[in-house]
A = this chain, B = another copy of it.
């Protein structure tokens, strides 16, 4: 439970593989999808979201593909995950306080908030550059 979906996992794997390319290099979606072992049409949707958010540049037509739009060291794991999964929160009442009218006086609520803050602190502190450098994902 409370697990990343495939979409989130693919987003992370996909952008790490893109970050492995020489910076500025335009890579084919089909190549990234194959290397990262992700269904190509699914990864296409994810990279489209990344393009809208300014994480990657996309180029159409012959010779086209995707490249990182910013240095990998400026993209955090949190940003990537939240781009496709929405706000990171362990309970409904955390991203939307009015999801529960008890939140003002609820001690459980404050526990979930602590969990969220710890998770965000970790994910904010990890960049795609580190992950691309340290990981040896096939």
Contact = CB atoms under 8 A, between A and B. Distances in A.
A88 B2 contact: yes
Interface residues of A, number: 40
A88 B131 CA distance: 23
Contact of A108 (B1, B2, B16, B86): B16
A47 to B, nearest CB: 18
Interface stretch (A21-29, A38-46, A59-67, A115-123): A115-123
A135 B115 contact: no
Chain copies in complex: 2
B9 A91 contact: yes
Most buried by B among A12, A16, A106: A106
A130 B118 contact: no
B77 A111 contact: yes
A75 to B, nearest CB: 13
Interface of A: 1-5, 8-9, 12-13, 16, 77, 85-92, 102, 105-108, 111-112, 114-115, 118-119, 122-123, 126, 130-131, 134-138
Ranked nearest first, the 9 interchain pairs of A and B with the lowest CB-CB distance are A1-B85, A105-B136, A107-B134, A107-B135, A118-B118, A4-B91, A2-B2, A102-B137, A107-B131
